[in-house]
Every structure is written in C-alpha cells, then in structure tokens.
C-alpha cells in the first residue's frame, strides 16, 4: 500500500513535534548528570525541568505549584506533575531581588528570603500570571553578602526559622552565626541556636519534632579539616561552637580561646570536609524500600577550595535515636574528578514518596524515585 501523502506526512510530523515539545527532555547540562549519576539498584533520577537557571531552595504550594529560589535575583514558579513525563511550565515569579535563596509556603502565601529582608506573596497560586506586590515581613536582617543568603522553613508549631550566617570565613561578630525564629508575621523574633557558621538546610524530626540542620565548616585549615556537620537542637539556647570550636574538638587557631569545646552541643555526625552540606531531609515516604524509612538524606553541594573536589553527591545518615550509626554515599557522579556536571542543593519530598532535587549548576530540577519493588 502507498504511504501517506506528503501533506499528511507534514501534518503528522508537525503533530509529533508538538507532542515532543511538551515532554520532559534533557539539556546538554542535564544529559551529563543523568549519564554519570550512580544510584543504588532500583532507583532512578530523571529530569523534571531543565529551564530553571541557578535553581536552589524549593517549596511546594497547596495546589501543587513548585516555587524555586535562586542566588541570582529570580524566583520561579513551576506548574506540572512530576513523574508524568510532561515538562512543566516555568514562570519567572519575581526578579531583581537580592539573592532570594529561601522560599517557604504557608496558608496560601509564599515567603521569600533575601539577604536583609523577608517578603510574603499572599494568594500566590491564584495569581501566578499577575503577581501581587509583596508584603514585607521583616527588613532588618544584616546586609552582608558573605553567607547572607538564607534558607527558611516553617516548623511544625508554625514558627518561621531564619538563619543569619557568619559574614566571613571565620570571625567573632555579635548577632551572626545564629538560627532565629519568629511568628509568620515577623513578630517575636528570637535567637533559637548559636555558634552555627552557615546553615543552608534544616528540617524537623518526624516524631520528636527536634530541629536538625547542616553546617558548613570553615575554610583554610587544609584539605581534610575541619569536618562539615549534621546537628540536632532538641531545645533552644544551645551553642554549636563557632567560631572557637569546629567539629567536636578542633580548636580554632585564632578564636579557640573564646570557648571550651567540651561545652558545645556536638555534631550528631561529622561529614567530610568542604563538602558544603545543604539540604537535610528525613525520608518519611513509603515508595522507597523499608530500610530507607526515616533515613537522613543530605545534599552535598561540593567543595570549591580543595585540591581534589569533595561532595557533589547525595548522602545518607542512619540513626539509632539521636545517634548516627552510618554515613554513606547514596547518589554520586555529579562530578568526575575536577570536572563538575551538577551540584545538588535542595531536596523536597513529594506525596508519592519521590524526592525532587534542585541543581544550581545545571539549572535543573530532577525527580528521584524508586522504580523496582522489593
């Protein structure tokens, strides 16, 4: 039988191109990530969106909108269904901001953390194409750019937690190196924990509701010192040692006289040096095998000042109560030696039990899922 006529062939080709244009396809940058990442058997990493330049912190709206902060002045809103194979619609929600790294969602409003202020976009999911003017929650945070970008999140009791990083590699500056908390309207701000050089990721234990956070260790003490940290703050008022003590017992050569390492709240787990741990999340879904339930997942952004690069991976920490019993790589291959393909930043657990993973190097959001049942 003769094949379709040329006009019909042209129509079919146009139809296929239209369909393919709406499916999730990888960019050259994400091609290298997907080709090189190594996962435990049964797991799969796929591209959800590859048009989110400098993607950093993520927050999910009540209607399924994915909000993504950056350190490059832009906040994005993505609408779509992860795992459907259809590429989401990416909108620029706000621009010309001052390192709007942190995003959080509560009661229909998107909270955005810049260096010196936090703003709120009310009713945002109903106005993605006509974004309202933001309301200022607080605008009295320090203006220092060094470690000035912020990760923010709401605790189970409704408080907004906001860190203030040290404005330096290592220094002793009052009012910095702390985690603060406040009411959603910005009132009653207080210091919750101190001695924290720069945390860009925290969460709450699914049963104890205790705050868990990562901390980035100081630079220029060598390739393998000091360690980065995973910490827990079971109550307010704890001191985690910066700038006088690093890890559990490493006295700072310049500021060590300011405190006693024996009196700090020690890390739950010492992480590898210079890996730049960012997101920390407990796996509370049911899609992964049972052995992953309540495991701690950490996104290690990767080193910038080490002779051989470290990090550029996702790791896990297994706990027995509040004691760590293992620290292991989970997803590796975001780099090969000193060649970097991607840098994991944030992790967001979805209702279907998969994780979204942001990557500010490739400008992408991936979906990490388990494809094979035990």
- Total count of domains within the chain: 1
Q: How confident is the model at residue 8 (pLDDT cuts 50, 70, 90)?
A: very low
The answer to whether residue 2 sits within a structural domain is no
Q: Is the pLDDT of residue 11 over 60?
A: no
Q: Using H for helix, E for strand and C for coil, what is the string for 6-73?
A: HHHHHHHHHHHHHHHHCECCCCHHHHHHHHHCECCCCEEEEEEECCCCCCCCEEECCCCCEEECCCCC
**What residues contact residue 19 under an 8 Å CB cut-off, 6+ apart?**
none
Rounded Cα distance, 28 and 15, in Å:
25
The answer to whether residue 131 sits within a structural domain is yes
Nearest Cα to 357, choosing from 349, 347, 372?
Answer: 347
CA 54 to chain centre: 12
- The CATH number covering residue 58 comes to 2.120.10.30
Q: Is the pLDDT of residue 4 over 60?
A: no
pLDDT of residue 16: 32
Q: Which domain holds residue 176?
A: 35-368
The answer to whether residue 117 sits within a structural domain is yes
- Average pLDDT in the 324-337 region? 97
Lowest mean pLDDT among 25-34, 120-129, 329-338: 25-34
Q: Is the pLDDT of residue 9 over 90?
A: no
pLDDT of residue 19: 33
pLDDT of residue 27: 76
Whole-model pTM: value is 0.92
Task: Please check whether residue 344 is in contact with residue 299, taking contact to mean a CB–CB distance below 8 angstroms.
Answer: yes
The answer to whether residue 238 sits within a structural domain is yes
Question: Can you tell me whether residue 4 is helix, strand or coil?
Answer: coil
Backbone angles phi, psi at 49, to 5 degrees: -145, 135
pLDDT of residue 13: 36
Q: Is the pLDDT of residue 315 over 80?
A: yes
Q: How confident is the model at residue 6 (pLDDT cuts 50, 70, 90)?
A: very low
pLDDT digits (tens, 9 = 90+) for 113-148: 999 999 999 999 999 999 999 999 999 999 999 999
pLDDT digits (tens, 9 = 90+) for 147-202: 999 999 999 999 999 999 999 999 999 999 999 999 999 999 999 999 999 999 99
Nearest Cα to 99, choosing from 126, 127, 72?
Answer: 72
pLDDT of residue 26: 57
Rounded Cα distance, 241 and 260, in Å:
8
The answer to whether residue 26 sits within a structural domain is no
pLDDT of residue 373: 59
pLDDT digits (tens, 9 = 90+) for 221-240: 999 999 999 999 999 999 99
Q: Is the pLDDT of residue 67 over 90?
A: yes
The answer to whether residue 319 sits within a structural domain is yes
pLDDT digits (tens, 9 = 90+) for 355-369: 999 999 999 999 999
The answer to whether residue 59 sits within a structural domain is yes
Q: Is the pLDDT of residue 10 over 80?
A: no
Q: How confident is the model at residue 5 (pLDDT cuts 50, 70, 90)?
A: very low
Q: Is the pLDDT of residue 213 over 50?
A: yes
pLDDT digits (tens, 9 = 90+) for 36-60: 999 999 999 999 999 999 999 999 9
Specify the DSSP element, H or E, that contains 349. Answer: strand 344-349
- Average pLDDT in the 68-96 region? 97
pLDDT of residue 91: 98
pLDDT of residue 24: 45
Nearest Cα to 76, choosing from 98, 102, 94?
Answer: 94
The answer to whether residue 320 sits within a structural domain is yes
pLDDT of residue 372: 75
Structure tokens at 175: 């009012």
- Average pLDDT in the 260-283 region? 98
């Amino acid at each position: 039988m003769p094949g379709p006529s040329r006009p019909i062939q042209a129509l079919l080709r146009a139809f296929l191109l239209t369909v393919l244009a709406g499916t999730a396809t990888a960019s050259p940058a994400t091609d290298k990530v997907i080709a090189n990442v190594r996962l435990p058997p049964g797991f799969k990493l796929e591209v959800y969106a590859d048009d989110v330049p400098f993607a950093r912190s993520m927050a999910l709206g009540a209607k399924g909108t994915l909000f993504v902060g950056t350190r490059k002045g832009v906040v994005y809103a993505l609408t779509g269904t992860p795992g459907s194979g259809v590429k989401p619609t990416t909108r620029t929600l706000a621009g010309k901001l001052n390192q709007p790294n942190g995003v959080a969602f509560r009661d229909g409003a998107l909270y955005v953390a810049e260096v010196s202020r936090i703003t709120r976009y009310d009713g945002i999911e109903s106005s993605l194409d006509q974004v309202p003017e933001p309301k200022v929650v607080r605008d009295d945070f320090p203006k220092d750019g060094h470690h000035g970008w912020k990760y923010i999140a709401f605790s189970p009791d409704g408080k907004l937690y906001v860190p203030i990083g040290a404005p330096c590699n290592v220094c002793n500056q009052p009012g910095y190196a702390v985690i603060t908390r406040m009411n959603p309207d910005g009132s009653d701000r207080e210091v919750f924990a101190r001695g924290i050089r720069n945390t860009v990721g925290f969460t709450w234990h699914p049963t104890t509701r205790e705050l868990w956070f990562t901390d980035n260790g100081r630079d220029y003490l060598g390739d393998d010192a000091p360690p980065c940290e995973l910490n827990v703050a079971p109550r307010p008022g704890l001191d985690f040692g910066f700038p006088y003590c690093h890890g559990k017992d490493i006295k700072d050569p310049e500021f060590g006289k300011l405190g006693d390492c024996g009196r700090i709240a020690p890390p739950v787990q010492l992480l590898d040096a210079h890996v730049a741990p960012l997101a920390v999340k407990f796996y509370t879904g049911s899609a992964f095998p049972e052995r992953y339930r309540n495991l701690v997942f950490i996104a290690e952004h990767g080193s910038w000042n080490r002779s051989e690069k470290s990090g550029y991976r996702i790791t896990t920490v297994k706990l027995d109560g509040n004691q760590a019993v293992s620290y292991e790589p989970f997803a590796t291959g975001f780099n090969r030696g000193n060649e970097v393909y991607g840098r994991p930043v944030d992790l967001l657990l979805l209702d279907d039990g998969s994780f979204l993973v942001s990557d500010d190097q490739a400008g992408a959001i991936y979906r990490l899922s388990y494809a094979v049942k035990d």
